């Protein structure tokens, strides 16, 4: 298994291009199943998860072509021959469940394996199923698969979520575009990826109102057409690389960065002593004079502090002046990076969904193990500021969500390399 070797060094300087959003692209790709006409996605990230979704769609009969080095994806679902998403593919990635709504909406039946992905808690799919049932779907869970069908197609209905689930909102939104009548999604997720999906669906002919708010209204149409859509900037990759100069010093410009995508995150950076400013091409980040200050962080649904930046923020706070408290309120079991950071000399105490981080003067390089996608990059960030060498193992997690991480960080002066499996 490959590993990443990081040698702590001096300040960083230069530019890092930010890719299109992984979580947006993984939702936009299944939207092809809603139409016979082509869907083209521009600014797609080049990640293993995108390859997995490609394999899944191809297994259903969709045509998926990677162009321009993977930054453009051309999709066509004019000849879907299979309505079953098998475990062998779905187990690799939770986003696979997002084929369920489109398949059911267009064809009236689907069989989809319960999904896999990072081991960061139960993350059940019950809200996805509840939404489809509200639109008249008949569901049966057996042998690890969701067997779904409709009598005469989906029908508009009231979808009331107990929790503002991003994935369930996306599945419901796609399914509702072809349902007969009006569907209202209450307590809908408000993430930029939801807005991006709605804009794409609208360009395909969907009638949607209210995306970006907690109530989305969809008037079903008989059919959707094709579209060309540019994937929104990845706010999690953006936030991750914003932390690099905050941890190491120096100044880095994030090309394509937008403040509106990371507003709550920027508030915490400012409180910690990090300056973020807009530039012509994106955002510039640098640490102010003096040490990083301790701050308290509570993860929340958008527009709050993202759970997907919690691990990376913890890496920054390991060397802050004072004691920080991080509360994880989105996913249970999402502090698995803490023991690995402690191997590097961090002072962290985890009690349930709360981690207390007492800043230390310096981290020390050590062999560590990635436990999930965001944990893997938090260890790389910590390694940038540590004395000596840090070797991060099991970096296949990293490949699911960050393209060319070694090239991007070495391009701004980091001493980092990928060590191939021997």
Residue 16 annotated as part of some ligand binding site: no
Give the pLDDT of residue 117.
46
Contact partners, residue 336, CB within 8 Å, separation at least 6: 119, 120, 371, 372, 375
Could you read off the pLDDT of 361-380 as tens digits, one per residue?
A: 999 999 999 888 888 999 99
Whether the pLDDT of residue 57 is over 90: the answer is yes
Which of 118, 248, 266, 318 is the catalytic position?
A: 118
Give the pLDDT of residue 137.
98
- 33 marked as binding residue: no
Q: How many helices (H) and strands (E) does the chain have?
A: 14, 24
pLDDT of residue 124: 66
pLDDT grade, residue 116 (50/70/90)? low
Active site residue 266: no
User: 412 CB contacts (<8 Å, ≥6 apart)?
Assistant: 12, 13, 14, 15, 16, 244, 245, 250, 252
pTM: 0.92
**Span 49-75, average pLDDT:** 97
Does residue 401 or residue 222 have the better pLDDT?
Answer: 222
The answer to whether residue 421 scores a pLDDT higher than 90 is: no
Whether residue 240 is predicted with pLDDT greater than 90 in this model: the reply is: yes
Residue 125 labelled as part of a binding site: yes
- Please say whether the beta carbons of 401 and 376 come within 8 A: no
How far apart (Å, rounded) are the C-alpha atoms in residues 390 and 49?
26
Phi-psi category of 240—alpha, beta or left, where left has phi over 0 and alpha has psi -120 to 50?
alpha
pLDDT of residue 361: 94
Statement: residue 121 has pLDDT above 50: no
| Three-class DSSP category at 15 | strand
User: Based on the number of CB atoms within 10 Å of its own CB, is 59 exposed (0-12), middle (13-18) or buried (19 or more)?
Assistant: middle
pLDDT of residue 118: 39
Q: Is 23 annotated as a binding residue?
A: yes
The answer to whether 235 is a known ligand-binding residue is no
Segment 91-102 mean pLDDT: 91
Q: What percent of the chain has pLDDT over 90?
A: 86
* Residues 34-43 pLDDT 10s: 999 999 999 9
CA nearest to 256, candidates 280, 225, 277, 286: 280
Lowest mean pLDDT among 62-66, 184-188, 396-400: 396-400
pLDDT for 122 equals 46
H or E element in which residue 126 lies: helix 126-134
Radius of gyration of the chain (CA): 21
Q: What's the confidence (pLDDT) of residue 187?
A: 97
With CA atoms as reference, report the closest residue to 88 among 100, 99, 96: 96
Residue 183 and residue 295: Cα distance in Å, rounded?
A: 41
Answer yes or no: is 245 a known binding residue: no
Is 187 a known ligand-binding residue?
A: no
Question: Binning pLDDT at 50, 70 and 90, where does residue 119 land?
Answer: very low
Strands 282-287 and 323-327: unpaired
Range 88-110 average pLDDT: 93
pLDDT category at 144 given cuts 50, 70, 90 is confident
What average pLDDT does the segment 348-373 reach? 94
End-to-end CA distance of the chain: 8
Q: Consult the annotation and say whether 286 binds a ligand.
A: no
The pLDDT of residue 290 is above 90: no
pLDDT of residue 222: 98
Of the candidates 87, 98, 138, 94, the one whose C-alpha atom is nearest the C-alpha of residue 116 is 94
Mean pLDDT, rounded, of the chain: 94
At how many degrees (to 10) do helices 235-248 and 310-317 cross? 10
Cβ pair 415, 23 in contact under 8 A: no
> Hey, what domains does the chain have and what are their CATH numbers?
3-19+233-419 (3.65.10.10), 22-230 (3.65.10.10)
Q: Is the confidence at residue 92, as pLDDT, over 90?
A: no
Give the Cβ contact number of residue 264 at 10 Å: 17
Is the Cβ–Cβ distance between 247 and 240 less than 8 Å? Answer: no
Q: Cβ distance 76 to 39 under 8 Å?
A: yes
Average pLDDT over residues 192-205: 98
Q: Which two tokens stand for residue 175?
A: 């399914």
Query: What is the structure's pLDDT at 387?
Result: 96
Which stretch of 91-95, 360-364, 412-416 has the lowest confidence by average pLDDT? 91-95
């Amino acid at each position: 298994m490959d590993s990443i070797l990081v040698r702590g060094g001096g300040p960083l300087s230069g530019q890092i291009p930010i890719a299109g959003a992984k979580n947006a692209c993984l939702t936009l790709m299944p939207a092809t199943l809603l139409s016979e006409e082509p869907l083209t996605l521009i600014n797609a990230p080049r990640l293993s998860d995108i390859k997995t979704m490609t394999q899944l769609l191809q297994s259903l009969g969709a045509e998926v072509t990677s162009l321009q080095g993977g930054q453009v994806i051309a999709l066509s679902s004019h000849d879907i021959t299979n309505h079953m998403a098998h475990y062998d593919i779905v187990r690799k990635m939770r986003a696979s469940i997002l084929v369920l709504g489109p398949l059911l909406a267009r064809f009236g039946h689907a069989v989809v394996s319960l999904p896999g992905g990072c081991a960061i808690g139960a993350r059940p799919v019950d809200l996805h199923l509840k939404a489809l049932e509200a639109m008249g779907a008949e569901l049966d869970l057996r042998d690890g698969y969701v067997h779904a069908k409709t009598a005469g197609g989906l029908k508009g209905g009231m979808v009331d979520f107990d929790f503002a689930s991003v994935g369930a909102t996306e599945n419901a939104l796609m399914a509702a575009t072809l349902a007969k009548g009006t569907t209202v999604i209450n307590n809908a997720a408000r993430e930029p990826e939801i807005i991006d999906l709605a804009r794409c669906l609208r360009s395909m002919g969907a009638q949607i109102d209210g995306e970006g708010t907690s109530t989305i209204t969809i008037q079903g149409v008989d059919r959707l057409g094709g579209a060309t859509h540019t994937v929104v900037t990845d706010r999690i990759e953006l936030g991750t690389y914003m932390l690099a100069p905050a941890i190491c010093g120096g100044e880095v410009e994030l090309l394509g960065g937008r403040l509106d995508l990371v507003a709550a995150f920027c508030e915490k950076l400012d409180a910690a002593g990090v300056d973020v400013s807009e530039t012509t091409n994106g955002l510039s980040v640098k640490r102010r004079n003096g040490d990083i200050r301790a701050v308290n962080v509570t993860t929340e649904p958008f527009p709050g502090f993202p759970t997907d930046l919690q691990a990376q923020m913890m890496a920054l706070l390991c060397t802050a002046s004072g004691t920080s408290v991080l509360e994880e309120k989105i996913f249970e079991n999402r502090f698995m990076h803490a023991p690995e950071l402690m191997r590097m000399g961090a002072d962290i105490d985890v009690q349930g969904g709360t981690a207390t981080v007492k800043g230390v003067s310096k981290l020390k390089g050590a062999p560590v193990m990635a436990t999930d996608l965001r944990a893997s990059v938090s260890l790389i960030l910590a390694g940038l500021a540590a004395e000596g060498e840090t070797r991060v193992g099991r970096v296949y997690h990293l490949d699911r969500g960050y393209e060319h991480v070694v090239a991007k960080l070495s391009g701004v002066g980091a001493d980092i390399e990928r060590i191939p499996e021997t």
